[in-house]
Structure 1
Amino acid sequence: MEKTGDPAAPLLPPHYPPPTEPCYGVPAAAAALQEPYFPEPPAYVLLPFYPRRHRRHGRCHCCGSLFSSSALLSSAFLLVILCSAAFFLWPSDPQLTVARLRFDDLRVTPPPFATIDVVLSVDLMVRNPDFFSLDYRSIVVSIGYRGRPLGSVTADGGHVRARGVSHVHTKLDLDGILVLNDAIYLIEDLFRGSLPLDTVTEVQGRMRLFFFDVPVQGNISCALNVNLENQEVIRQDCYSE
């Protein structure tokens, strides 16, 4: 530190530039006096001021983690509920079952004419597996011989209540259907005494889902083997597509 040369000047510590941050002044140990009447001014050690930071309590972190876990579990539970509702409420296709197939008339004319006359009665069950009612426009029953269509008939539409069953009866009448392309197979079938036929039944409709109409359809196919002598079904295999 510098000494002032004027004895009358006040004994003040030397002028320091103001600190940029708050400081505390702590007096250091007194130095030895060099002059009896003009002691050394006291020295100061400048310590920077650090503002105190408040620590967060540990339970706040726990509360935040608990809140995040609860929100995640709630979101997952809500997602499961929505998926379950969509699974149970989304409309499914109607289920068809052939309750009975009966040939009222079946006549086969051998080549060179090679024609088939068919009168077929079909009893169907239309089951609605959904929680909404079903309105079907029509039911179409077609019959074929060795993969070639012979003809079809269309039944009127109807209404099936939610998770209900509707019984439908329809009759197919075909007269003199030519099968010239399969005349050779027709001769073999006449020799065996049985005729392989196939039927396809299709239902089309719509289902009212809240404010929307959702189109639905169902079908069932049957492979038949009919005895030409007594017109009874020897074998019947039905499956839904």
Structure 2
Amino acid sequence: MQSFGSWQFNFGSARDSNPRTRPIRVLLLGHPGVGKTAIAVRFASRRFIGEYERGAERMYRVEDHLASWEIVDPPGELTRAPTESRLRWADAVVLVYSVTDRVSFDETWRLRFLLNQARKSSRKVPPPVVVLLGNKTDLGSPPGGDRMVTTAEGRKRAEDIEAQDFHEVSARESLDQVMAVFASTARLVQLMLPRASPATPTSSAEDPSSSAFRLRASTDGSIDARRRPQHSLFKRRSSISAKGVLH
């Protein structure tokens, strides 16, 4: 068992759960302030929240028409590198940077190096899907935008670090963009780690903005998001906790 702040994770030596039955495990990594938590909350709750307490680990458990998910959002402190066991735990790793912050873009090199090192230490573990994600495109839009990293640079970086996918999003302004990232990640993980096929989505599920979820804090301190019946479409509850023990 590894302990990080107030969270504890039973990662084990490899991905020891059956990939056909367990949730897709996603690890969000990035420089402080790039919007990792905003992206996770946007996906889990369909809401944008701009301010969060830094330095706290969070796990989001989500069930939707795409898959079941466990999304870990570690703190982005520069002094804390992700551990090898944490990297081996993930089916997919999303490297997040801000298109308005060149330093956060450069940090993706180091994070990819750490992924490679973790992979070398455990050859029996399948490599995770790697996604490069540029956030905060709304702040970089002209006129007067502060974009420092172009889309072309992002695509080139994705090729250089051998990421399987590349996206640019605005977690603040577009739920559809965030949903597209996770939909694509689910498809890539299902290709690399064969799973049972998800249920065929209904017409309402195909529209991310019409998906109805409820969010609740579990007794273990994690966050559960489950689909509500359609008649409860506009009745959402949200609660976020960053303290607890995960088993």
Higher share of residues assigned helix:
2
Higher share of residues assigned strand:
1
Name the TM tier (shorter chain).
under 0.3
